[in-house]
Every structure is written in structure tokens, then in C-alpha cells.
Structure 1
């Protein structure tokens, strides 16, 4: 369901609650169904319980009762400051949590956040690793050293760069959305799918690549230690792969090599191979 289609008004929420009450559902069951379908736009459990009780007592109207003395608007500087404080403390806070905390509607909370605070909720971007300030400074200095090394031949040198990095390759047993589908009767709860856990089994992969693609992938055999001799042999294999494509190359690593493989070290532990 799209974000727009899931944003129901309070009256529509009340009408849905009324319908479920007449079907004999409990407030907890109603809230779970609404949260499953509407997700973040679902009304709070407190609101569901309140209106379920009213409908059970015989109420027919789905409209809110008029509140004497209620201000014309709740979009005030005080509420904006309060909401901003809550959001900055917990950037994953839900609209209904803010609404319950400040005792105002979710519509007003959404209006304040989007129109007055100019904020929106987005998913976190995936990155391979979190760099520390030291890592960032080291990469900056390495880049400066490299630019100084290549001088005016940067285009020619960049075409000859070969990068090598190591990573753990873990074994997973993924299940696609299509594979997880199950037959269910009308009214039954949908099946749950839990997050896939990492397997204990893993391999160390060393990958060499250049601007045109992967040159060599080596998987460290189980029970083998990545020492200087192994790494020296690996560099020899990489050199052969490079020779098939060009006469010379510059090898760089994304992390400092601890293996002491016996090759000439360039800036920040980078090895230089070729003519």
C-alpha cells in the first residue's frame, strides 16, 4: 500500500474500528490489524482502545466530540520546539508516539514536521564500514601522496591502477519473497518471515580489480594462514593476470598489508608493481 493511500483521516480510523467492534474483535486485535496494514500511519493503541470502548457502549457517531476552549490551531511555536526536541533525541520516533506525548493529533504532528521543520523520514543508506576520523585522515593523506607521486601523468597512471582488498564471505541460506509465500484462508494472519542469520561457515576472499573489472579472486583454503609467503604467491598470480592485459600496473590496497609479502611499499603501505 502506498504512503498516500495509507494516510486515513481520524473519522476513517474510527469507522474501521467501529466495523471491527461489530465483528466482535478485541481492541488488541483491531490495533494489530491496523498496524499491519497502515504501518506508521496506524492509530495508536490508546486511541483504538478508547473508540472501541465507546462503540461497545453504543456510540454510533464516528466524529470527534467538539472540545470547548480548544485553540483554533495546534501549530504553535511551543509545539514545534517540543516536536523538534523529541525528533532530535530519537530520529526513529513514530508520529503516533509524538502525538501521544504531546496530546495532539498525528495530522498536526505530520504537518509540523514536514511543513514547519522541513524534515522527512528516509531509510538509512548502507555503507561497507564506519570510518573513524583517523581512517578518514589516513585516506586523505594517502590520496595526496599518490597525487604527488603521479604528477602530471595522472590519467595514464589511473588506467594502470590495480586495487586489492580482502573480505569475509559468509554462507547464507536466503529465502526469496516468492519462496516464502503460503496459502492462507481468508481472515488468517499472514505468515512471518524472520531475518536470516549469518552462518558460522565463512571464507576469506582476496579480490584484485582494475577500472575494467575483476582480475583475480582467491579464496583462502580452510586451515591456511594468510602469511607473507602466501601473500607473495598471491601477488605473483595477480601479476600474471595483469601481464595478460598490460605491461605494467600500480597495485594499491584498501587496508594496510600486515603480511610482509616482500614487495616494494608505496605510500601508506601500497605496493608498486610493474615497470
Structure 2
């Protein structure tokens, strides 16, 4: 009665809750001590509601609970420093001569090729009517396979070696492949001997064996260091092998010799983009 203003006036209600800094700090210490602790356990320890704990975690500490992510290896401090040094060296080398950085760069890696690789779920998608799920018989990859060691650079494949059945890749075997690489370079890259070949390989035990390292040193190749425990950073894994296996997927081969011919044609013509 008697009001003449149309503005809302303050009214009674539930007061705004204020979280004391010491409660937030205590909550933070509990979380840091055990990253897997449950909200209920934190609430019982501090003696406040679970809703308040969630508010502190989300609004004040900006934290949320996620599933753990698998990593290849938990690195030691010296290994982390090694990664940093390798990245800095490669970046400095690129900045010295960006246009010619990839010319003398040769990389190598091994991979398995099956005679038959089933198509993925993404590749087997079909148009269907409502409530008519597509059916597909379950298949497994062919047990017959061949290992290929591929040497390549920015201009294409230099050569591919296929491991004979029943044999394994050893340091001596890999050293003979490196020696063969020098002969292939003279034929397919005659301009490279004038420069120092920058040779890249990962840190597999076969690659870093005594006989393999001695051969690389004897040939006077400049070895490009590879970060420890980072196999997915090898150029073959994010450029050559995915494209190559994409073209081979869902194709059937009766013998490894026919497969090897197709691999060579595809890798030479489609998987490498000249620079």
C-alpha cells in the first residue's frame, strides 16, 4: 500500500553463500594429494555438502574429473630435456636454410602389410531405411603378411626392401640396407652426394645397434636425432604409411609378390608429393 515506484525493492530470501578462502584451499590440497578422490569423500572430510564441493571444484578451482589418457611412457626429466634439445636443433637447422631443408633429408621406417586388410566401419557405411541396420559378416586380418623397410625423401621412394619369410630384422641386416641406400642414392639422387645426407631414423634397438651406427658413421651420413619414446613423430607414420595402407585396404592378394608390386606402384605414384 502506498507504493509509487515500479522498481523492484530488495526482498528477503536465502542469503548468497560465500566460500571462505581457507575452505577452497583445503579442498585444493585434498584433490592434489589424491587425484582419484571422490566428491563424497571430500565432503565428509571438510564436513560440507557435496553440492558445495562441486561448486568449489567447478567455479573456484576450475577443475573437472576426466578419465586417464594412455601415453607411451612417463618420461624422466632428462628425457624431457632431450626432447626439447632435439626440437630446438631441428628448428635451428630449418631456420638456417628453409628452402633446402628437406632436400638432403632421408628417412626410414618399417611396417607390416597384410595380404588382406578388412575395411573399417567408416569405410563400410551404407544407406539404409529407418530401423534397417546394415549387416556385415565379421572378418579378421589375414595371417599372411610381409614386413617392408622403406627409405624415402620429399621427392619419393628411394627403395623398398621386403623381409624374407622366416627371417628377422637384426642390426647386421639393417646395416646392409643402409649400405644399399648409399648405392641407390648415387643412382636416384645424384645431386645428394655433393651435400651431406641428413639421415633420420627412430630409436628402435635395431637402428641404434653398434653395427648400424658404425655403418652410418662410415658412410658420413648426418644423423638427425629423434625424440625419445615418440614413435608417432616419425614422418612415415603420419604421412607415408597411412596413405599407403588406405589404398591397400579391402584389396586381396594371393601372393606376397603381387602385393609387393602394387605397394611399389602406389607408394611411388600417389603417397609422396614432390617438393
TM-score, with normalisation over the residues of structure 2? 0.43
TM-score, with normalisation over the residues of structure 1? 0.43
Structure with the larger RCO, 1 or 2 (CA within 8 Å, 6+ apart): 2
